[in-house]
């Protein structure tokens, strides 16, 4: 009887305590002093471990009890605010920049000393670079840094009379943007080799029309004045892939290939990776299947192919992963392909999702070896998605090669918001291919265009004859993906000296005769696109002439103005020889004018990045 009374007393006491400790939800929004939403702000209940972070719109939601008195708002580069909760259910905060903290970041910059301007760069340890020839910025420069980036030789201007065709493969990777965001948010500039302008542009969504008819994407074009050279013009070419409802997507055979080597034992690597994959697992359907392969000193299978509705089993396998050992990346890839082949779904989405910092240092680690391994399996219908994590030893060059050669995409995940963007909001585009081997070829009309320069895509250029060669690999498009390319044009009749060769002896007469016979004088150019269906071997052709009127920049669409602002910012970060009159102030002004509805807050975040670099410049010049 005593025991029964004791149990009853405990239950009554517990009920009384629960009644007193009532919970409620606090919601709110965090902005900077310009009114722009701040994503990634840490909100914690002071004196507890309870916390959350703001989303891309600066919004947050947190559960509190009557014992919780103060919310603390903090973010690198901003002053921390302690806000009393009281009886409020909604709290909105404006954070102010912490100039003192930013100054310390500029000086220390990942442990680097502040140095004088240098004209030389090392891929592994970038030196500081000049800005517009007179201002200096602090670049990432740490003696322990082993990050690897492929060199970039910027595209120059081509004379239309001698080079009328521009041919390249599309690129839907966006890793460069989130990677440079990581650098800037840490108070330093990225190495120039990390700045791939086409990936920066393609990080953002644009308002292109939904495709109609037989082709799986639409084509949007626009011509306007160039913001950094008023004597030039900008051509925007945009593709929009057909959006497919998730319920209608084919079944997936996925293999998570996860790096658990010692280098992943950092908070922004394996722990972030686990959270990111949790978001993806939540999106899986019963008809999807997942296997998990890990690699460190050796490779191993930790989860056999498992239906997507067994989420608890999949997540238990992920949550139990621990980091340690060296990095047998080649062995991991081979095992992952073996598992994917064993569970191959004909007509489905067969894909490996590689998550790593890219530090392959045991076994088959050369770029050439990795490339051959991925290409062989790509042709068998097993595609590749690469997710990069961490800092300090990230091998950007290796991960880009693996994704490009594996008919896949490469993204860099620096926080949980980015994971949600890639693996939830853009789920279809990231994992489901609607067209492969997509190639652009543009023929410019010499009566309209004197010379042109493709902005970015340096590692995607193709020979002109590759356009009609179906054996030549090119880029892939996913469901709902956008692809945007910008050209800087020198109009015909310009007195500007552009690169040229001696007049061609035999071509001149042929060209004169052809020009006399056609009626193309109103066309600026013709766009041709070749692509294959995801399981196809023969390409299809899409062709569109461009007769657009050249708009003044202020009358151009938000699509063109925002893409131009991103390009301008990228050229400044690269200290490009083609940046002309580019300035951070003008890039910021142009981006602000083209933010549009910006429901997800990505464009506002971009404006804040520009303003952060402006602040770093001001501090570096003191």
Distance in angstroms (rounded) separating the CA atoms of residues 604 and 40: 13
How far apart (Å, rounded) are the C-alpha atoms in residues 455 and 445?
19
Total domains in the chain come to 3
pLDDT tens per residue, range 341-400: 999 999 899 999 999 987 665 455 566 667 788 888 888 999 999 999 988 778 888 888
Phi-psi region of 109 (alpha: psi -120 to 50; beta: other; left: phi over 0): left
In angstroms, the CA 180 to CA 588 distance is 17
* Alpha helix ranges (H) inside 358-459: 367-378, 396-405, 416-420, 427-431
Q: At what angle do helices 367-378 and 329-342 cross, to 10 degrees?
A: 0
- Residue where the block lists tokens 């209940």: 45
C-alpha radius of gyration, the chain, whole number: 26
Let me know whether 281 and 382 are in one domain.
yes
Domain that holds residue 399: 249-431
In a domain, 393, yes or no: yes
Does residue 399 sit in the same domain as residue 458? no
Q: What is the pTM of this model?
A: 0.78
Shared-domain flag, residues 325 and 390: yes
| Same domain membership, residue 307 and residue 209 | no
Q: Are residues 524 and 383 in the same domain?
A: no
Mean pLDDT rounded to a whole number for the chain? 83
Residue 165 has pLDDT above 80, yes or no: yes
Q: What is the SS3 assignment for 168?
A: strand
Q: Do you know the residue count of the chain?
A: 622
Is 279 domain-assigned?
yes
Pair (420, 481) in one structural domain: no
Domain CATH code at residue 390 = 3.40.50.410
Confidence of residue 436 (pLDDT cuts 50, 70, 90): very high
The answer to whether 210 and 218 have CB atoms below 8 angstroms apart is yes
Beta-carbon contacts of 551 under 8 Å, excluding residues fewer than 6 positions away, are: 222, 223, 224, 225
Q: Per the domain annotation, does 125 fall within a domain?
A: no
Joined together, the tokens standing for residue 71 give 């919310």
pLDDT recorded at residue 15: 52
484 found inside a domain? yes
Inform me whether the pLDDT recorded for 616 exceeds 70: yes
What is the spatial distance between Cα 521 and Cα 515, in angstroms, rounded to a whole number?
9
- Specify whether the CB–CB gap between 228 and 579 falls below 8 A: yes
- Sequential DSSP letters for 443-470: EE-TTTEEEEEE-S-GGGB--GGGGG-T
For the segment 234-289, what is each residue's pLDDT rounded down to a tens digit?
999 999 999 888 778 889 999 999 999 888 888 888 999 999 999 999 999 999 99
Mean pLDDT, range 4-13, rounded to an integer: 56
CATH number at residue 58: 2.60.40.1120
Last residue of a domain, one of 406, 431, 456: 431
- Please report whether residue 586 resides in a domain: no
Query: Quick check: is 473 in a domain?
Result: yes
Do the beta carbons of residue 76 and residue 97 sit within 8 Å?
no
Domain end marker among 392, 414, 431: 431
113 has pLDDT over 60 = no
455: which strand partners? none
Say yes or no to pLDDT of 526 above 70: yes
Give yes or no: residues 327 and 457 share one domain.
no
Does 239 lie in the same domain as 253?
Answer: no
Q: What is the CATH number for 219?
A: 2.60.40
Position 143 in a domain: no
Q: Are residues 529 and 397 in the same domain?
A: no
Banded pLDDT at 7 (limits 50, 70, 90): low
- In whole angstroms, give the CA distance from residue 291 to residue 303: 5
Contact 211, 562 (CB under 8 A): no
Residues 294 and 420 in one domain: yes
Domain boundary among 97, 114, 129: 97
403 in the same domain as 297: yes
Residues 225 and 254 in one domain: no
Q: Report whether pLDDT(457) > 90.
A: yes
In a domain, 233, yes or no: yes
């Amino acid at each position: 009887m005593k025991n029964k009374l004791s149990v009853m007393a405990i239950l009554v006491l517990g009920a009384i305590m629960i009644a007193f400790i009532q919970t409620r939800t606090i919601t709110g929004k965090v902005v900077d002093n310009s009114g722009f939403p701040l994503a990634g702000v840490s909100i914690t209940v002071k004196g507890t471990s309870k916390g959350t972070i703001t989303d891309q719109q600066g919004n947050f939601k947190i559960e509190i009890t009557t014992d919780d008195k103060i919310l603390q708002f903090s973010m690198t580069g901003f002053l921390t605010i302690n806000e009393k909760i009281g009886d409020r259910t909604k709290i909105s905060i404006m954070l102010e920049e912490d100039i003192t903290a930013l100054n310390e970041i500029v000086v220390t910059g990942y442990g680097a000393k502040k140095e004088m301007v240098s004209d030389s760069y090392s891929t592994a340890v970038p030196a500081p670079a000049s800005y517009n020839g007179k201002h200096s910025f602090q670049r990432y420069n740490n003696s322990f840094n082993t990050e690897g980036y492929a060199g970039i030789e910027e595209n120059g201007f081509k004379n239309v009379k001698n080079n009328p065709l521009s041919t390249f493969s599309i690129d839907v990777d966006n890793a460069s943007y989130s990677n440079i965001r990581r650098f800037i948010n840490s108070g330093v500039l990225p190495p120039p080799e990390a700045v791939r302008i086409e990936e920066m542009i393609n990080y953002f969504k644009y308002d292109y029309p939904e495709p109609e008819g037989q082709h799986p994407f639409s084509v949007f074009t626009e011509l306007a004045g160039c913001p950094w050279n008023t004597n030039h013009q900008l051509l925007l070419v945009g593709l929009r892939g057909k959006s497919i409802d998730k319920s209608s997507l084919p079944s997936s055979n996925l293999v998570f290939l996860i790096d658990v080597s010692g280098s992943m034992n950092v908070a922004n690597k394996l722990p972030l990776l686990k959270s990111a994959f949790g978001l993806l697992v939540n999106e899986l359907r019963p008809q999807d299947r997942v296997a998990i392969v890990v690699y460190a000193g050796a490779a191993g299978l930790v989860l056999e192919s498992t239906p997507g509705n067994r989420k608890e089993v999949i997540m238990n396998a992920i949550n139990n992963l621990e980091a340690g050992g060296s990095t047998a990346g080649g062995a991991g890839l081979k095992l992952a392909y073996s598992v994917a082949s064993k569970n191959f779904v004909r007509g489905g989405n067969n894909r490996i999702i590689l998550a790593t910092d890219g530090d392959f240092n045991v076994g088959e680690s050369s770029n050439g070896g990795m490339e051959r391994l991925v290409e062989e399996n790509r042709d068998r219908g097993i595609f590749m998605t690469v997710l990069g994590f961490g800092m300090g030893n990230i091998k950007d060059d290796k991960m880009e090669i693996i994704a490009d050669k594996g008919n896949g995409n490469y993204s860099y995940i620096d926080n949980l918001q980015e994971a949600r963007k890639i693996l939830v909001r853009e789920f279809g585009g990231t994992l489901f291919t609607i067209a492969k081997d997509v190639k652009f070829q543009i023929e410019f009309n010499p009566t309209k265009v004197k010379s042109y320069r493709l902005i970015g895509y340096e590692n995607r250029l193709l020979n002109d004859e590759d356009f009609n060669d179906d054996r030549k690999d090119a880029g892939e498009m996913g469901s709902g993906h956008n692809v945007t390319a910008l050209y800087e044009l020198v109009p015909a009749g310009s007195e500007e000296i552009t690169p040229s060769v001696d007049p061609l002896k035999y071509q001149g007469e042929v060209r004169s005769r052809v020009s006399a016979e056609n009626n193309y004088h109103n066309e600026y150019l013709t766009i041709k696109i070749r692509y294959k269906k995801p399981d196809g071997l023969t390409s299809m052709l899409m062709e569109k002439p461009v007769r657009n009127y050249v708009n003044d920049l202020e009358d151009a669409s938000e699509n063109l103005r925002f893409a131009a602002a991103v390009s301008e910012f990228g050229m400044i970060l690269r200290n490009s020889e083609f940046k002309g009159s580019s300035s951070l102030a003008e890039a910021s002004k142009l981006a602000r004018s083209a933010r549009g509805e910006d429901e997800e807050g990505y464009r506002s975040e971009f404006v804040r990045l520009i303003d952060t670099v402006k602040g770093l410049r001001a501090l570096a010049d003191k």
